[in-house]
Structure 1
């Protein structure tokens, strides 16, 4: 069976103060970085945040729209077999993606 790939979609609307913590929680996973990507969709430019995203090879999409449009754009830009959503004011436990990955490996035959 081919390996699964996860796309993490993080949306942010006008909340710069929380976004980097959310992104770092997605970066600091026990799952190998080759098995997932991170996509950030936000409605603002911020030099520090944009530089951090760039440095960590995170897809950074800047657009105006509703949360539904953000999610639609993220899904369309994703490469994952599995989509995981993370709000900008939330955090992942460091084993979240590995847990999800292993669950899907068990159920996909």
Structure 2
């Protein structure tokens, strides 16, 4: 039995490589019901919105301490 995995992605200011990182997560062989993705960022959803339809969670954190 495989354990449930939580993938937490932190992003300080939007950078183009965040989309690349999310694409990499989306293309894993693991079944969707075996993991969750939580994106914590200090900018609004913008470019990452399309990944949220996968059931991924987005947490907006306004301080600059998310790095």
Map 1:37-48 → 2, pairs under 5 A:
37-48=36-47
What TM-score results when the alignment is normalised by the length of structure 1?
0.52
Give the secondary structure class of the aligned counterpart of 1:16.
Answer: coil
Larger radius of gyration, structure 1 or 2? 1
TM-score, normalization by structure 2 = 0.80
**Cα distance 1:47–1:15, how it changes in 2: closer, same or farther (>3 A)?**
closer
Structure 2 distance, partners of 1:38, 1:48, is: 16
Asked whether the 8 Å contact 2:39–2:59 carries over to 1, the reply is: yes
- Say whether the 8 Å CA contact 2:19–2:47 is kept in structure 1: no
Corresponding residue number in structure 2 for 1:63? 61
Q: Aligned residue pairs: how many?
A: 66
Q: Which residue of 2 aligns with 1:54?
A: 52
CA-based RMSD:
1.9
Which structure is higher in helix share?
A: 1
Runs of 4+ in 1 over 4 A off after TM superposition: none
